Amino acid sequence: MSGYFSDLYHGTKSLLVGLGVTFKEMLKPTVTVHYPRETLTITPNYRGHIELVSDEKTGGSLCITCGMCARACPSACISIHSEKPEGSKKKILTGFELDFTRCSLCGICVESCPTDAIAYSQEYNLAGYSREEFHMDLLGRLGKGGGSLT
Amino acid sequence: MKTEAFKDESRHRFLLNMGPQHPATHGVLRLVLEMDGEYVVHLDPVLGYGHRMHEKMAEARPWPSFLPNTARMDYLAALPYNHGYVCLIEKLAGVEVPRRAECIRVATSELNRVASHLLWLGAFLLDLGAFTPILYGFDDREQILDILEDITGSRLTYSYFRVGGVYRDVDDRFVENTRVFIKRMRKRLDIYNKLVTDNIIFIKRTEGIGVISPEMARRYGVTGANLRGSGIAYDIRKTEPYSIYPELDFEIPVGSRGDCFDRYLVRIKEIEQSLRIIEQALDMLPEGEFRGKAPKKIKLPPRAASFAVEAARGELVYFMVGQDSDVPYRLKVRVPSYANLSLIAELCQGMLIADLVSVMGSLDLVIPEIDR
Amino acid sequence: MDTAFLPPELLRMLIAALFVVTVVFVNALFMVYAERKIAGHIQRRPGPYEVGWHGILQTLVDGIKLMTKELVIPRDANRMLFRVAPLLAFTPVVMPFLVLPFSENLTIIDMNIGLIFILAMASLNVMAILVAGWSSNNKYGLFGAMRSVAQNIAYEIPILLSLLSVVLITNSFSMRTIVEAQISGLWFCLLQPLAFIIYLIAALAETNRAPFDMPEAESELTAGFHTEYSGMGFGLFFLGEYTNMFIVSSVAVAVFLGGWSGLPLPMDAWTGAFWFLLKVYILMFIMIWVRWTYPRVRFDQLMNLSWKYLIPFALLNLIVTAVIVKL
Ligand code: SF4
Ligand code: SF4
Q: Write the residue in B61, B150, B200 that is nearest to A43 by C-beta.
A: B150
The rounded mean pLDDT for chain A is: 77
- Please give the Cα distance from C42 to C13 (Å, whole number): 42
Q: Say if residue C201's pLDDT is above 70.
A: yes
- Please give the Cα distance from B271 to B117 (Å, whole number): 7
Percent of chain C with pLDDT strictly greater than 90: 0
Mean pLDDT of B298-325: 85
- Please give the Cα distance from B289 to A111 (Å, whole number): 17
- Please give the Cα distance from C17 to C9 (Å, whole number): 12
Which letter, b or e, does each residue of C89-118 get, where b requires 16 or more Cβ atoms within 10 Å of its Cβ? bbebbbbbbbbbbbbbeebbeebeebbebb
Predicted confidence (pLDDT) per residue in A54-66, tens digit: 777 777 777 787 8
Mean pLDDT of B146-156: 84
Q: Give pLDDT, residue A143.
A: 61
Say yes or no: B135 contacts chain A, CB-CB below 8 A. Answer: no
Q: Give pLDDT, residue C2.
A: 47
Please tell me the distance in Å from C314's CA to the nearest CA on chain A. Answer: 15
- What is the band of B13 on the pLDDT scale with cuts at 50, 70, 90? confident
Q: Which residue from A66, A112, A136 has its CB within 8 A of the most atoms of ligand 2, so it is best to mutate?
A: A66
Q: In C, which residues are within 8 Å of B128 by CB distance?
A: 219, 295-296
Ligand 2 atom nearest the C-alpha of A118 is 7
C233 occurs within a structural domain: yes
Q: Please tell me the total count of domains within chain C.
A: 1
- Please give the Cα distance from C179 to C173 (Å, whole number): 11
Q: Give pLDDT, residue C266.
A: 66
Q: Say if residue B263's pLDDT is above 80.
A: yes
Q: Give pLDDT, residue B130.
A: 80
Chain C residues whose C-beta sits inside 8 Å of any chain B C-beta? 39, 42-45, 139-140, 143, 210-211, 213, 217-222, 292-301
Q: Give pLDDT, residue C212.
A: 76
Q: Say if residue A147's pLDDT is above 50.
A: no
The rounded mean pLDDT for chain B is: 83
Strand partners, B17: B32
> Is A17 close to B194, i.e. CB distance below 8 A?
yes
- What is the band of C4 on the pLDDT scale with cuts at 50, 70, 90? low
Q: Which residue from A47, A69, A71, A73 has its CB within 8 A of the most atoms of ligand 1, so it is best to mutate?
A: A73
Spacing, Cα A63 to ligand 2 middle (Å): 5
Q: Give pLDDT, residue C136.
A: 78
- Please give the Cα distance from A44 to A121 (Å, whole number): 9
Range of the domain at C253: 69-326
Q: Which ligand is nearest to the CA of A65?
A: 2
Residues 6+ away with beta carbon under 8 Å from C73: C79, C82, C83
pTM: 0.84
Q: In A, which residues are within 8 Å of B191 by CB distance?
A: 21, 25
Q: Say if residue B5's pLDDT is above 60.
A: no
Say yes or no: A21 contacts chain C, CB-CB below 8 A. Answer: yes
Q: Give pLDDT, residue C187.
A: 78
Instruction: Classify domain B66-348+356-370 by CATH number.
Output: 1.10.645.10
Mean pLDDT of B329-354: 84
Atom 4, ligand 1: which residue's CA is nearest?
Answer: A103
Q: Which ligand is nearest to the CA of A50?
A: 1
- What is the band of A146 on the pLDDT scale with cuts at 50, 70, 90? very low
- Please give the Cα distance from B225 to B117 (Å, whole number): 10
- What is the band of B11 on the pLDDT scale with cuts at 50, 70, 90? low
Q: Give pLDDT, residue B222.
A: 87
Which segment, A18-22, B26-30, B50-54, C77-81, is predicted with the most confidence on average?
B50-54
Say yes or no: B58 contacts chain A, CB-CB below 8 A. Answer: no
Nearest CA in chain C to B201: C297
Mean pLDDT of B57-64: 84
Interface residue of B353, B355, B362 to substitute, partner C, most C CBs within 10 Å: B353
Amino acid of residue A35: Y
Q: Give pLDDT, residue B8.
A: 58
Q: Say if residue B146's pLDDT is above 50.
A: yes
Q: In C, which residues are within 8 Å of A30 by CB distance?
A: 40-41, 44-46
C29 occurs within a structural domain: no
Q: In C, which residues are within 8 Å of A14 by CB distance?
A: none
Q: Write the residue in A14, A43, A106 that is nearest to B159 by C-beta.
A: A106
Q: Give pLDDT, residue C215.
A: 67
Predicted confidence (pLDDT) per residue in B339-351, tens digit: 888 888 888 877 8
Predicted confidence (pLDDT) per residue in A47-103, tens digit: 888 878 777 777 777 778 788 888 888 888 888 887 777 776 777 777 788 888 888
Q: Give pLDDT, residue A149.
A: 41
Q: Say if residue B148's pLDDT is above 50.
A: yes
> Would you say C160 and C118 are in contact if contact means Cβ atoms under 8 Å apart?
no
Q: Give pLDDT, residue A150.
A: 35
Q: Say if residue B2's pLDDT is above 50.
A: no
Q: Give pLDDT, residue C6.
A: 63
Percent of chain B with pLDDT strictly greater than 70: 97
Q: Which residue from A61, A69, A93, A112 has its CB within 8 A of the most atoms of ligand 2, so it is best to mutate?
A: A69
Mean pLDDT of B5-16: 66
C50 occurs within a structural domain: no
- What is the band of C217 on the pLDDT scale with cuts at 50, 70, 90? low
A77 is in an annotated binding site: no
Q: Say if residue A14's pLDDT is above 80.
A: no
Ligand 2 atom nearest the C-alpha of A70 is 6
DSSP string, B171-210: -HHHHHHHHHHHHHHHHHHHHHIIIIIT-HHHHHHHTTSS
Q: List chains adjacent to chain B, taking adjacency as at least 3 C-beta pairs closer than 8 Å.
A: A, C
- What is the band of C1 on the pLDDT scale with cuts at 50, 70, 90? very low
A113 is in an annotated binding site: yes
C257 occurs within a structural domain: yes
> Is B68 close to A104, i.e. CB distance below 8 A?
yes
Residue B225 CB-density burial (10 A; 0-12 exposed, 13-18 middle, 19+ buried):
buried
Ligand 1 atom nearest the C-alpha of A105 is 1
Interface residue of B1, B128, B259 to substitute, partner C, most C CBs within 10 Å: B128
Spacing, Cα A29 to ligand 1 middle (Å): 40
Kindly state the DSSP code that residue B243 receives in the 8-state scheme: T
